[in-house]
Amino acid sequence: MRITRSFPVSDVAALKANLLAWGQQFDEAVWLDSNGHNDTYSSFEALLAVDGLTVLQTDGKNAFEDLREYQGQTEDWIFGYLAYDLKNDVEKLSSDNPDGLKFPELYFFQPKKIITIKGSSVEFSYLKMVGDELDADYRSICNADFPPVGTSRPNNDLRIKLRMFKDEYFRRAKAVLSHIHRGDIYEANFCQEFFAENTEIDPWATYRRLNAISRPPFACYFKIWDKFLLCASPERYLKKVGGKVVSQPIKGTAKRAVDQVKDAALKARLAQDVKERAENIMIVDLVRNDLSKSALKGEVRVEELCKVYSYEQVHQMVSTVTAKVAADKNPVDIVKETFPMGSMTGAPKISAMEIIENHENFKRGLYSGAVGYFDPRGDFDFNVVIRSILYNASEKYVSFSVGSALTAKASPEKEYEECLLKAKAMREVLEKTN
């Protein structure tokens, strides 16, 4: 079904830049970049998939059933995203908050062309119908001419607005905490939106700048016609390789310092922070419960608990939970049984999502959803859409959202500061790039 050829790579950084530039010509494109974070579960350095042959686009109603059918019938690579509000297809929930972005709830496409960088080689995998374009595309990519990062003109007219001002955040956060104190839930991921209206940005330049200052392991540039995701995510939602499923939730954040001694102290303090560890362990328990729905009996394991990883902007506390699944377990069902990811909801999950919906004042949409792929074998890998800018060019609407976990001992003031810390990179990029 596909023609595959590999070529040696002498300069990976240059090839990655050229690939992303070359991919701009297509109406459907997804770029996944690990930025050199090659851990135990990494599959590639970077991947570009473009030019959809078939597409599945739908709202929340029966979305997972439609995806299950599409994935089974295609029997090929499919790339796409799952919006957070597909929770309404999983549970008896609803989403009625304002939606400025107007993205579809679910979008997947079967690309004609997939180009993957692995180690010191690049692999082209083309459907046979476009196989005769492979060599010419390789030459075009090698000779691509692109502007260096940071040369785009400043956007002095862009004005970022807060959907929720500070006093309102405190009021709503305290309302969520009241649910926690009376035992309705014990953790909630409470989020807020920053946005700009009547605004035009250069998505490609904005993504490149965001990635340059963040260098996260699950970066993504996703383009479907007039809608763009510019993602600097540090978090994996769910990966399946053969009979093993892996989830790596993040809970716990600390700022970085330029001074190495101070930076090491901040990292060590996060590792020992009782509140942050409690938040992380709560979500680990939730993930274990979610994975047990798909796993073989007794085959859910915590491989890594509360380990602190350092990224360009922040230190993060990460845990790794794995499960073994039956060979005939449908891959879309595994995703459905764990969606949305616990790190972006709270616990207990359904009650937390209900409370979140009542106290947040925007529709999350693709934010805190997932982007990734299914391969022909039924394996998959999805990130968590956080630290991301979303842009609808037709609506001239730009949005980024951030959140933090509220628990019984949470301070609204400190949680608000954590939100601002997480928002820093997106705000800086948008105010300086156009």
DSSP 341: P
User: Is the Cβ–Cβ distance between 214 and 149 less than 8 Å?
Assistant: no
The pLDDT of residue 296: 98
Residues 103-119: b if buried by 16+ CB within 10 A, e if exposed: bbbbbbbbbbbbbbbee
Q: How confident is the model at residue 158 (pLDDT cuts 50, 70, 90)?
A: confident
Q: Look up the pTM and report it.
A: 0.95
Mean residue pLDDT across the chain? 94
The pLDDT of residue 1: 85
- String of DSSP letters for 13-38: HHHHHHHHHHGGGSSEEEEEE-TT--
Determine how β-strand 397-406 pairs with β-strand 78-82.
unpaired
Q: Which helix (H) or strand (E) holds 265?
A: helix 260-272
307-339 residue pLDDT tens? 999 998 889 999 999 999 999 999 999 999 999
Residue 431 pLDDT exceeds 90? no
The set of residues, in sequence order, having a beta carbon less than 8 Å from that of 158 and lying 6+ positions away, is 196, 199, 201, 398, 430, 431, 434
User: Is the Cβ–Cβ distance between 427 and 192 less than 8 Å?
Assistant: no
Q: How far is CA 357 from CA 58, 87, 88, 366, in A?
A: 22, 11, 11, 15
Average pLDDT over residues 78-86: 98
SS (H, E, C) 32-66: EECCCCCCCCCCCCEEEEEEEEEEEEECCCCHHHH
Q: Give the whole-number percent of the chain exceeding pLDDT 90.
A: 89
The pLDDT of residue 147: 61
Distance CA 89, CA 385 (A): 19
How many other CB atoms sit within 10 Å of the CB of residue 378? Answer: 18
- From the list 28, 105, 235, 418, the catalytic residue is 235
Q: Is 187 a catalytic residue?
A: no
In DSSP terms, which residues pair with 254 in a beta bridge? 315
195-218 residue pLDDT tens? 999 999 999 999 999 999 999 999
Distance CA 11, CA 142 (A): 10
The pLDDT of residue 312: 87
Residue 241 pLDDT exceeds 70? yes
The set of residues, in sequence order, having a beta carbon less than 8 Å from that of 241 and lying 6+ positions away, is 41, 379
Residue 86 pLDDT exceeds 80? yes
11-61 residue pLDDT tens? 999 999 999 999 999 999 999 999 999 888 999 999 999 999 999 999 888
Q: Is 113 a catalytic residue?
A: no
Angle CA(372)–CA(374)–CA(375) in degrees, nearest 5? 125
Average pLDDT over residues 276-303: 95
- Tell me the Ramachandran region of residue 113: left when phi exceeds 0, alpha when psi lies from -120 to 50, beta otherwise: beta
Q: Give the whole-number percent of the chain exceeding pLDDT 70.
A: 96
Q: How confident is the model at residue 154 (pLDDT cuts 50, 70, 90)?
A: very low
- From the list 87, 112, 240, 251, the catalytic residue is 251
Residue 288 pLDDT exceeds 90? yes
The pLDDT of residue 143: 85
Topology of domain 2-143+157-432 in CATH is Anthranilate synthase (3.60.120)
334-360 residue pLDDT tens? 999 999 999 999 999 999 999 999 999
User: Is the Cβ–Cβ distance between 16 and 117 less than 8 Å?
Assistant: yes
Average pLDDT over residues 291-317: 95
| Closest of 187, 363, 194 to residue 277, by C-alpha | 187
The pLDDT of residue 153: 52
User: Is the Cβ–Cβ distance between 341 and 249 less than 8 Å?
Assistant: yes
DSSP 348: S
Q: Pseudo-torsion of CA 405, 406, 410, 413, nearest 10°?
A: 80
Q: How confident is the model at residue 148 (pLDDT cuts 50, 70, 90)?
A: low
Residue 434 pLDDT exceeds 50? no
